[in-house]
Amino acid sequence: MSSDLERPTRRRFLWTGAGLVLAAAWVGGRGFLASGARAAAPGAKQKIRDVEVTKRGVTVVMDLETAPFPHKSAGYKDPTVIAYIPAHFRVKKDMRIDTVVHFHGYRDTALEAMKRHQLREQLYDSKQNAIMVFPQGPVKSEDMAGGKLDEQDGLVNLLTEVRETLQSPSLQGRLDKSGIPGKARIGKCMLSAHSGGFRVVSYCLEHGGFNVNEVYLFDALYGRTDIFRDWITATYEKQAPMAERHKLVSFYSGVQPTTENKRLMWFLDKAKVEYMHEQIEGSELSKRDITKARAVFIRTQSAHDRVLFSTNAMRDCLYASCLERMLKSDWFKDADAPRIGPR
């Protein structure tokens, strides 16, 4: 997938208590500013740590109070939350900001997962009118803890602070036409997880305080399966528009994810909830199928750490979602034909 997200414009900015100033520090000319390069007004707590502008959008690195960590439950201290606003994003008349929140897995960081799994690129390519948020979980650890997001209203608190921070007046110039007015509020919410990130998603569904429209699991169902069952069935019988129904897409390949996905399918069978199951990724279900279904299970042939991007799985989840596409696309050409499998 071609991308200029890793090639920032020559102008880089960082934040001070007075607003934006031209930054002098670079990290190999490629990425984010060194942490020691930022300045802060005396006594002021800086929330925006860095802003990266490319032709495809703006990436904002923040330190937030509602980030998963620090938290009394664990020793992790990194309060990073990253937001990506694609260049085509626009706040419409309804003043809603549709948001995709992605949780990384074991032995990872939000920044590295965002880049390695090409998540900004896939949102951009889907042409959906949404932003993407990457909270930092346990840093480089085999730990599934969610910190503040495991608590009551953790999700709504995070979404609120992200929205308020992105509405900072001095950031709007960098966002240009993708600016976020003060009246805007969070609209639809999608949650995504790779590997061990499933656990924090389950707590967000259970008591996060905000309605989640869709969930995407990428080899990421290792337990708490009844929570996902209850979330799917909660809206199944309701005669409501697709945008108001809960939808799950789960890719699986590993031993435990395979066991738990089959268990969830068994749960749905007992609850008489219809779902679709694809045994060979891309060969059995059409684009229309994965768009209309309320639950989709896909046995992927991609390696565990490649499941998110080797077949553009995240992009296709977004294409098939209830989000509103901002630009025209030919993705639904031959909508009833089988999708292309792994490349």
Residue 265: the pLDDT is 98
Which pLDDT score, from 0 to 100, does residue 225 have? 98
Low-confidence ranges of the chain (pLDDT < 70): 1-45, 239-240, 341-343
pLDDT number for residue 130 = 98
Q: Give domain limits for the chain.
A: 55-319
225-242 burial by CB neighbour count: b if 16+ within 10 A, else e?
Answer: bebbbebbbeeeeeeeee
Give the model's pLDDT for residue 9.
42
Q: Give dist(CA 70, CA 65) in Å, integer.
A: 9
The CATH architecture assigned to 55-319 reads 3-Layer(aba) Sandwich (3.40)
ω into 70 cis (within 30 of 0):
yes
Q: How far apart, in whole angstroms, are the C-alpha atoms of residue 218 and residue 199? A: 13
Question: In the prediction, which pLDDT does 201 show?
Answer: 98
